[in-house]
Amino acid sequence: MNKTSSGSILLFLAGLLVLLISIAPVSAAQFRVYSDPAGASFCVDNHCGYTTPDNFPATPDTWYTILVTHDGYQSWSDTVYLNPVGTTVVNANLVQNPPSYGWLDITSFGADIYVDGIDRGNGNQRMTLSPGSHTLALKKAGYYDYQDVFTISPDRVTTLAPGMTPYPQSPAYGDLQIQSTPPGAAILVNGDYKGTTFPGDPVYVTQLSPGTYTVSLSMPDYQTYTESATVEAGKTFGIVEVMVTAAPGPAPDATGQITAGSNPSGASVFLDGKYKGITPMVLVDIPEGSHTLMLRQGGFSDWVSTVTVTGGGYTAVTGTLVPATPATPQPTKSGLSLLIPLAGTGIGALLMVRKRA
C-alpha cells in the first residue's frame, strides 16, 4: 500500500469518527433536585407536584426558579442555571420552622406581593411567618417596584401599608400585565420566568425599558402561546390569552390540574393527606376523580374540601381560612407600620424605594 492510499484511508477514518461523534446522542439536560430532609415538594418555574429527590428535564442554557417546600420547614427558593447538557444538581438545605411564629398584615393596594422572593398573591393579606427579618417586594403596573426589609416578632402582628411611587409624567419604563384563561399558566419574558397567573391575579412585569419582548405562556395539557409584545414608555401592554387545549393523544387523558389558592396565601397544601407545597400553586398530573384537599396555616383552622378532577381539565380551588382562636395577637410597632397609605401619590417620609435600572 503506497503512502497516498494510507493517507486517504486515515483521512476517511478521521472523517467517519467526526461524523459518529456529531450524530451520537447527547445527554438530555435536566435538574436533579435533592433536599435535606428528603421527601420535600419542589416546583420548577411553578410546575409543581414533584418530590425530592427527582429529575426535571427542561430547556438547557436557561435560568429557572426552583422552589422547595416541606411541611414543618421554611421554604427554600433559588434561581438556577441549567447546563447545556447533562444533569445540573440542586441541593436545598431546609431549615426547620421555629416553635413560635408571627403574622404580617399587609395592604398592597392591588400590587403583587413577594415575601422572601416567593409569590404570595395580591390584595390585602395576613400571612404566617417565622420570627426574624424578611424581604418584601411589591410590583404593580405604572409604579416603581417597592423593596424593603421588615421584622416579624413571635406571637405578634406586623402591619404594613406601604405606598408605591408612580412613574413620572415622562417615564423611562413601561410594563406588561398578563393573564390567562384558565389561570395557572407560567409566564416567561425573553425566556426568564416571571410568575404564574392565578384567578383574579395577573402577572405584572414592571420597569421594562421600551422595546420588543417575547412573552410565552405555558401550562400542562395546553398549547404554549407565544407573542411579541412592544413595550412603550409610560404604557402597559396587556395580554389576556385564552389557552388552547393540546391535541389529544392516542389514549384519553386521565389526569388534570388543580389551582390551589387560599385567603390568606401561604397555606400548606395537602392532597389526599400528602403534602404538596404552599399556596398559591398549580398541582399537575392529578388522577381524575375525587380528592381531598386540605389547607393548613399556623394560627388558622384547617380548611378541607372535596375536589373533583376531570381528565385533561382544570379545577380552581380557593379556601378562606378562619382564625383558630378569637384572641387577636398583639400588634408590634415598626417604622413601616406607621406608614400612611398613599397608593395614589406614593409619597411618604418613611418610604424606601429602590429604582431598578
State the 10-residue block means of pLDDT for the chain, 357 residues long: 54 50 56 92 82 89 88 88 90 89 88 88 83 93 94 92 90 93 89 86 92 91 91 94 81 83 86 88 88 90 93 87 68 45 39 37
Fold identical between 30-93 and 102-166+330-338? yes
Q: Residue 228 and residue 334: Cα distance in Å, rounded?
A: 44
Closest CA to 159 of 167, 169, 151, 168: 151
- Residue 69 burial by CB count (10 A; 0-12/13-18/19+): exposed, middle or buried? buried
What CATH number is given for 30-93 in this structure? 2.60.40.1120
Query: How far is it, in rounded angstroms, from Cα 58 to Cα 44?
Result: 9
Each domain of the chain, given as residue ranges in start order, spans 30-93, 102-166+330-338, 174-242, 255-320
Class of domain 174-242 as given by CATH: mainly beta
pLDDT digits (tens, 9 = 90+) for 327-355: 455 555 544 443 434 344 443 333 333 33
**CATH number, span 255-320:** 2.60.40.10
Q: Please name the residues in contact with 177: beta carbons below 8 A apart, sequence gap of 6 or more.
A: 141, 202, 203, 204, 205, 236, 237, 238, 239
CA 333 to chain centroid: 31
CB 192 within 8 A of CB 214: no
Taking the alpha carbons of 260, 64, 243, 310 in that order, is the dihedral positive or negative? negative
What is the distance between the alpha carbons of residues 180 and 178, in angstroms, rounded to a whole number? Answer: 7
CATH class of the structural domain 102-166+330-338: mainly beta
* 70-104 pLDDT, tens digit each: 988 888 988 899 888 889 999 999 998 888 888 89
Q: pTM of the prediction?
A: 0.70
